[in-house]
Structure 1
Amino acid sequence: MLFIFGLLLLLKPTVTCVEMFCRFNQTDPCYAALGHKLYLQMVTDARDQNLTLFKWIDNKIDGFINVKKNKISNEHESIKNRSEFIFNNGTLIINSVIRTDSGRYRLEIYDSTGTQTHDVNLPVIVEAPVGSVELSIICSGEMRASCSSEGDQLIFSWTLNGQELEDRNNIIHLDEETSGNITCTVNNHVSRGQKIISVNRCPVECSVSVVFVVVWSLEMMLLLTLLGGFHIYIKYCSTHTSGTTTATVTSHLTSTVTDSTSGHVVCSVSVVFVVVWSLEMMLLLTLLGGFHIYITYCSTHTSVECSLSVVFVMVWSLEMMLLLTLLGGFHIYIRYCSTHTSGRKQEEEIAL
């Protein structure tokens, strides 16, 4: 049985997206958030500068934008309706970044004589930002925390009651007794998302299984007593006949039925044997059947709760086995052996 809990939300999921500001003199790649703005600073001041920005498209370099004498020319078709250029800080702003904005850009700077003074490259990588963070706790034999979100190159981190956990996967395994606040943080190069939930130990539903074990054990022990009693009686008495007259002699815990005419013993049953045999068989059945049912219905729960259930089942089973053996075993014995005394009673009545 699988069930999910931890529905108490302490903090609404938060997602923070960074509008990336990149410079052509940086050594690291430039990351851009899909659907957001990208700032590409070419120079600190583009006034009176001659700049040409190229981009590799389909393995070919293509002119992207030209800046000359405070004017923009040859703006590439892919950014014509979603870009702007700030001259006083030399920054190209690309709005609503798309996947095809990824690629390698090349900036060339020329002096007033047309001589190239700078040539620098900058790789741009577009990533989808982190979406809404979903966090849930799952109990299925063990406690697990599962965190998910949309986005590219996701990195997961966890804290439990403020303490950072080493696991960096989106699913982590926790102790069954874990309780408190669990935080899942999801990052990539352009955004960050987080969600916190409060959890308690995995719930246990062994009470249903205990009821089933109790009912099943009661039925099976009654059946075993009946079958065992019949088996013992048939084994010891089936080959004999009562004859015309019989006599019954009881010595301690052994009952013997004797033919009054021939003096031969036709039935002898030890109550001790009945009790011991029944206890052994019922205990075996309880161990095999009861534990099988327990494992089937309780294996998903905590060891502490299940150990209490085992104690309860075992104590109850021993009490019920003893009671059923005393009641059922003696009842079966008396029922099937009492009829053999009729011959002796008749004989005594004739003698009188």
Structure 2
Amino acid sequence: MSDPHLPPEVCDYIVDLLRDKPDTLGRCCLASRSWVPRTRKHLFADIKFPYSDDLERWKRAFPNPSRSLAHYTHTLTIGCPEVVTAADAQEGGWIRAFSNVTRLEVLSGLRDLDDSHISLVPFHNLSPALKSLHVASTIFPCTRILNLVCSFRFPEDLDLAQRRVGVGTIDWDEATFQPSTSPVLTGTLRVYLPGRMGCVTRRLLDLPGGLHFRKFELSCYLGDNLRWIVTLVAGCSDTLECVDIECWVSLPFEQVDLRTASIDLSKATKLKEAVFRSKTLHVVWLVLALQNITSKHTYLHQISIYVPEIPDLAIYREVVNEVIHRQWMDLDRVLVQLWESCGIRPKVMYSVAEEKKETQRERIEGLLPKIMERGIIELENFVEFCWYRQIY
């Protein structure tokens, strides 16, 4: 491995192939001193401090922050921000050693329900190279999070999530938000904030430079939250290339009327991909969104629809059964129209246990007969996964 006749670029290439094998990289460091810089690039690329013990081990290994290997880190995950910020205050800017971070994850609320006292200021403008910011917490004040966002000049991806749905009734602070800069947000916006999307949306849209996201991954629980998704889509219609929207509707079937909050995609003509995840049998919001897609959407060729497990509809009361069939018949009609007028092929995905797959297919065929008859639909089973569950 330390053969002097082996060109350095070949050695680097070999080490790069081992990037996902930390034990092997550790042995490379012992095999040859010349391999050490390249192995450190991978060994310290992804650093996590989920608990205070992890931070203590790092501090024992690198007592002098200026001589640590933090400059190799590209992804930094902080699971105990209250401990990290305290250490940073004691040691005069300890966190600043991570100056080349491209993705910062600040996760809190694993032990305390009260994050409101935790300062995020030490993380402000941590790295000029930062492109992705992920904040998941219980009740970080809204302005505190957005001030963190605005401290970075060139972040692209923004990922905001609330850990516990149980605290969703707590209002975020309504303090005046006056950002000193307007970050260049051009990548992906992921938001999972049950009951709080309005606060974030309103303040993001107030940024002086506006929003220019290319992709949305949004999850909402209530009809009111859907209204804020409508606002976000409208604000990024000129740049939006992909929407991935998950919607839960908790109201009784006969009380649902989301027509005032339909997602208008008519101006988002640059769309290349549209994904809709209906977490209940309510699909009126989905029908209304699809009605806004026309032949002007020249880049959009497929729509993916994720549906929940469909039970035997005979278990519902007659009025509920009628509402379900009416909504799904409307969806069936709209999907046929999209195929005939725009050539857009629909894909319906469902998640059920292996032994229920055939029964589930039959029930979907009963609700979507027209597109099934025409053979213009792809019907696939999938393993259920939600992007926001990664924060746990």
TM-score bucket (shorter structure): under 0.3
* Structure 1 or 2: more strand by fraction: 1
| TM-score under structure 1 length normalisation | 0.17
Highest CA radius of gyration, 1 or 2?
1
* Structure 1 or 2: more helix by fraction: 2
| TM-score under structure 2 length normalisation | 0.16
